[in-house]
Chains A and B, each alone.
Chain A
Amino acid sequence: MTKLMGIVSLLLLSAVLGPIIITEHPWSQNARDFLLHNGYRDTGASNLVSAIYLGYRAYDTIGETIVLLAAVTGAVFLIKGFGSSHQAPVPSYKRGAIRTNIISMTTGKLAPVVMLFGWYVMFFGHQSPGGGFQGGVVLASGMLFIALGREHHKRDSQLTKKRLHRIEVLSLWLILLLVCIPLTLGAAILENPLTKIGDSIPRVIYIIGFNMAIGLKVGSGLSILGLLMMDMQHDD
Chain B
Amino acid sequence: MMINRILLLCLFLLGFYGLMVLKNLVKKVFALSIQNSAVILLFIVEGSRIGDHAPILSEDQVRYVDPIPQALMLTAIVVGICVTALALALVYRLYQKYESLNVEEIQRKANNE
- A and B associate in one complex: yes
A232 to B57: give the CA distance in the assembly, Å: 45
Q: A33-75 CB contact bits vs B (8 Å, 1 = yes)?
A: 0011001100000111101110001001100100110111011
Q: Are A79 and B92 touching (Cβ within 8 A)? A: yes
Question: Using an 8 Å CB-CB cutoff, how does the interface string of A136-158 with B read, 1 for contact, 0 for none?
Answer: 00000000000000000000000
Residues on the B chain within 8 Å of A49, using CB:
55, 67, 70-71, 74
Beta-carbon contacts under 8 Å, B1-39 to A:
2, 5-6, 8-9, 12-13, 16-17, 20-21
Which of A4-12, A163-171, A180-188 interfaces with chain B? Answer: A4-12
Contacts of B49 in A (CB 8 A): 26-27
Is A201 at the interface (CB under 8 A from chain B)?
Answer: no
Verify A32–B64 contact, CB threshold 8 A.
yes
Q: Is the interface of A mostly helix, strand, loop or mixed?
A: helix
- Tell me which of B21, B66, B85 contacts A2 (CB under 8 A): B21
What is the minimal beta-carbon distance from B12 to any residue of chain A, in angstroms? 7
Q: Does A195 contact B (CB under 8 A)?
A: no
B residues contacting A by CB (< 8 A) are: 2, 5-6, 8-9, 12-13, 16-17, 20-21, 42, 46-47, 49-51, 54-58, 64-68, 70-71, 74-75, 77-79, 81-83, 85-86, 88-90, 92-93, 96
Q: Which 5 A-B pairs have the closest CB atoms?
A: A71-B82, A52-B71, A48-B67, A6-B21, A48-B55
